[in-house]
């Protein structure tokens, strides 16, 4: 990667604590982040790992700088410019809140437009709608998967009509006379 890349790290126990807190939160649907402290420079971490393994970094173990990959950032952002992090009531866990609000009806219409564009495989319209919904999004338009590798059913219901994300049309339940397969 790039020599200036910085990343945050958390222990598995911290990740589990965050997931459990989010799952049992008083306000369902909230977004939470850990107070992560200072990010770690990846190049420094690579050199420290080499030293801990008993090697001299850059001498016995070469460290290759390859540059940023498409869509990769030098610094991670835990929250965007249009969000704020507030104490959650649990030490070291913050609740993320948006400073901008979309009315539910507008959001549902925008998501339906996004799904329609995805079903039509209109990449330009999908990217435009995502940029409209999430202005802070930095989208990699160069590294998208070839069209033949994309799932054609992700955004479709059983009737092949666009539906709200995650809310697919109900499937017919098998009757007692129909065999079921796992």
Instruction: Single out the residue of 32, 8, 37 nearest to residue 85, CA to CA.
Output: 32
Query: pLDDT-derived band of residue 117, with 50, 70 and 90 as boundaries?
Result: very high
Do residue 82 and residue 110 come from a single domain? no
For the chain, percent of residues with pLDDT exceeding 70:
74
Range of the domain at 85: 6-98
Do residue 68 and residue 140 come from a single domain? no
Write down the pTM of the prediction.
Answer: 0.55
pLDDT at position 139, please?
67
Average pLDDT of the residues in 112-117: 93
- pLDDT of 20 > 60? The answer is yes
Flag whether 43 is in a domain. Answer: yes
Whole-number Å distance between alpha carbons of 17 and 159 = 40
Average pLDDT of the residues in 37-42: 92
Assigned token pair, 145: 């998967």
Flag whether 168 is in a domain. Answer: no
Do residue 93 and residue 114 come from a single domain? no
Question: How high does pLDDT run on average in the chain?
Answer: 77
Whole-number Å distance between alpha carbons of 89 and 78 = 19
- pLDDT of 174 > 60? The answer is no
- Within the chain, residue ranges assigned H as helices are 12-23, 42-52, 104-119, 123-133
* Number of structural domains in the chain: 2
Do residue 123 and residue 76 come from a single domain? no
Average pLDDT of the residues in 87-109: 84
Flag whether 61 is in a domain. Answer: yes
SS3 31: strand
- pLDDT of 54 > 70? The answer is yes
Least confident segment among 15-19, 36-40, 63-67, 73-77: 15-19
Do residue 15 and residue 75 come from a single domain? yes
């Amino acid at each position: 990667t790039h020599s200036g890349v910085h990343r945050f790290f958390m222990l598995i126990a911290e990740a589990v604590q965050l997931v459990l807190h989010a799952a049992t939160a008083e306000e369902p649907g909230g977004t939470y982040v850990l107070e992560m402290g200072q990010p770690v420079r990846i190049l420094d971490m690579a050199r420290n790992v080499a030293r801990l393994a008993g090697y001299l970094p850059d001498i016995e173990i070469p460290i290759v700088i390859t540059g940023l990959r498409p869509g990769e950032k030098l610094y991670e952002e835990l929250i965007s410019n249009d969000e704020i992090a507030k104490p959650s009531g649990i030490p070291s866990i913050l609740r993320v809140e948006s400073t901008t609000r979309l009315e539910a009806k507008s959001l549902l219409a925008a998501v339906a437009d996004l799904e329609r564009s995805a079903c039509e495989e209109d990449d330009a319209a999908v990217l435009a709608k995502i940029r409209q919904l999430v202005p802070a999004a930095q989208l990699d338009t160069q590294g998208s998967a070839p069209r033949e590798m994309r799932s054609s059913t992700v955004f479709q219901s059983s009737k092949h009509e666009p539906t709200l994300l995650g809310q697919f049309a109900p499937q017919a339940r098998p009757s007692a006379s129909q065999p079921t397969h796992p």
